[in-house]
């Protein structure tokens, strides 16, 4: 498929902003749209896993609705959850490492490629921007379950940051401020206005465009989701997923996405992927159209031809309608039932995978 890519510079309050556009995709007025409509409409249940019980009796505690009532489920979503059990005991952040992925909580990953490039996805190491302090007082769902294992200031060797979309649990200006001067920021189209980034250049990208970051090729790819920072800017900025290719290993970060044929489209455009970093949270009720359940994520991994599947999203906030303990238990049941033909490796917060070792006997 032939793509026409346009490149130009924007000047004003943001220094050195480059836009990579794909003429195949056009906004509808001021709004961006998903390529596919999710098959999951309404609250469900949508499959057998939606009707299974993954909680222990002692984890079912009814609660009243808070002032905000964000993702209210009628029960305490954290009873029986211990954040300390979610933390990896010996966090090893080493600037000299290569071929390593470290999970930093929620959607934040440190990716150290074989060519020496180091990038971070969706760094949110604080409470939410702006309303975070107030929101965390008004509703426990908006409060971190525990501190991030690291701060941006400890990642001085990172040269690039990629953001999937502008929701507050993925885009955090205070975390971005901690990176070194010269760090390049990769954003979906029309997200630059949501940050006050002055550490380095900004590259805004459209779906199915690519650019070079030192020796790494970075692709921006679609997702089935939405965007907004307030009630007045819904879908006025793009969202998506990222692929990092150092010439040997291809690492895909899905961002937030509902399941749809988009993953087969990505595989058709890009080919098989070595490592898939996949969300498995915030899927019950009306959110299913834009978030994946564990079974959806496994199906997406199959569509993408993954070799190593690393789930994320659990244990940092209780933003979804599900109990915090459910996603990993549900994933284990799905793996038992489906027996996918790739490695699935859940991590603790701060834990890493040296992926060359994982690919022994797996790589085609």
Distance CA 100, CA 288 (A): 31
Question: Residue for token digits 């299974």?
Answer: 52
Burial 213-237 (b: 16+ CB within 10 A, else e): beebebbbbbbbbbbbbeeebebbb
Q: What is the pLDDT of residue 316?
A: 97
Q: Can you give 228-255 as a three-state secondary structure string?
A: CCCCCCCCCCCCCEEEEECCCCEEEECC
Q: Of 338, 335, 271, give the one whose Cα is nearest residue 305.
A: 271
- How far is the CA of 214 from the CAs of 96, 183, 324, in angstroms? 17, 12, 38
The angle that helices 294-304 and 262-270 make with each other, rounded to 10 degrees, is 30
Q: Of 251, 351, 254, 250, give the one whose Cα is nearest residue 299.
A: 254
Q: Of 354, 364, 114, 353, give the one whose Cα is nearest residue 246.
A: 114
Pairing of the two strands 100-103 and 352-354: antiparallel
pLDDT per residue as tens digits for the range 70-105: 899 999 999 999 999 999 999 999 999 999 999 999
Distance CA 106, CA 163 (A): 13
Distance CA 171, CA 194 (A): 8
* Tens place of pLDDT per residue across the chain (364 aa): 334 444 444 444 446 899 999 999 988 889 999 999 998 988 899 999 999 999 999 999 999 988 888 899 999 999 999 999 999 999 999 999 999 999 999 999 999 999 999 999 999 999 999 877 787 788 889 999 999 999 999 999 999 999 999 999 999 999 999 999 999 999 999 999 999 999 999 999 999 999 999 999 999 999 999 999 999 999 999 999 999 999 999 999 999 999 999 999 999 999 989 999 999 999 998 899 999 999 999 999 999 999 999 999 999 999 999 999 999 999 999 999 999 999 999 999 999 999 987 764 444 4
Helix (H) or strand (E) holding 312: strand 308-312
Q: Report the predicted TM-score, pTM, of the whole model to 2 decimal places.
A: 0.94
The beta-strand segments (E) located in 67-181 are 100-103, 109-112, 118-121, 160-162
Q: What is the pLDDT of residue 359?
A: 61
pLDDT per residue as tens digits for the range 269-300: 999 899 999 999 999 988 999 999 999 999 99
Question: What one-character-per-residue DSSP string does 20-69 give?
Answer: EEETT---BTTB---SS--S--SS---SGGGGS--S-GGG--B----SS-
Q: What is the pLDDT of residue 15?
A: 61
Torsion of CA 316, 321, 325, 328, to 10 degrees: -90
Q: What is the pLDDT of residue 362?
A: 44
355: helix, coil or strand? Answer: helix
Q: What is the pLDDT of residue 130?
A: 81
């Amino acid at each position: 498929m032939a793509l026409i890519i346009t490149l130009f510079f924007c000047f004003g309050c943001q220094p050195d902003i480059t836009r990579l556009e794909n003429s195949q995709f056009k906004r509808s007025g001021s709004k961006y749209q998903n390529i596919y409509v999710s098959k999951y409409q309404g609250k469900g249940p949508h499959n057998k896993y939606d009707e299974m019980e993954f909680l222990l009796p002692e984890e079912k505690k009814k609660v009243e609705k808070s002032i905000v009532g964000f993702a209210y489920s009628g029960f305490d979503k954290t009873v029986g959850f211990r954040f300390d059990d979610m933390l990896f005991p010996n966090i090893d952040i080493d600037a000299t490492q290569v071929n390593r992925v470290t999970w930093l909580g929620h959607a934040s990953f440190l990716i150290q490629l074989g060519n020496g490039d180091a990038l971070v996805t969706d760094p949110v190491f604080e409470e939410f921007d702006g309303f975070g302090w107030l929101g965390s007082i008004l509703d426990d769902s908006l409060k971190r379950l525990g501190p991030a294992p690291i701060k941006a200031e400890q990642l001085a060797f990172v040269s690039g940051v990629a953001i999937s979309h502008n929701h507050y649990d993925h885009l955090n200006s205070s975390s971005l401020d901690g990176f070194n001067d010269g760090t390049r920021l990769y954003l979906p189209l029309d997200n630059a206005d949501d940050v006050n980034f002055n550490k380095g250049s900004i590259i805004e990208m459209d779906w199915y465009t690519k650019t070079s970051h030192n020796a790494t090729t970075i692709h921006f790819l679609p997702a089935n989701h939405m965007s907004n920072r307030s009630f007045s800017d819904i879908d006025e900025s793009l969202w998506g997923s990222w692929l990092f290719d150092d010439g040997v290993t291809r690492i895909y970060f899905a961002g937030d996405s509902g399941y749809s044929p988009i993953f087969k489209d990505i595989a058709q455009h890009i080919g098989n992927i070595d490592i898939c970093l996949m969300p498995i949270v915030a899927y019950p009720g009306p959110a299913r159209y834009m978030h994946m359940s564990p079974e959806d994520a496994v199906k997406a991994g199959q569509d993408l031809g993954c070799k190593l599947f690393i789930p994320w999203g659990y244990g940092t906030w209780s933003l979804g309608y599900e109990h915090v303990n459910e996603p990993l238990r549900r994933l284990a049941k799905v793996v038992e039932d489906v027996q996918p033909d790739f490695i699935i490796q859940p991590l603790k917060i701060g834990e890493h995978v040296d992926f060359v070792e994982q690919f022994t006997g797996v790589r085609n």
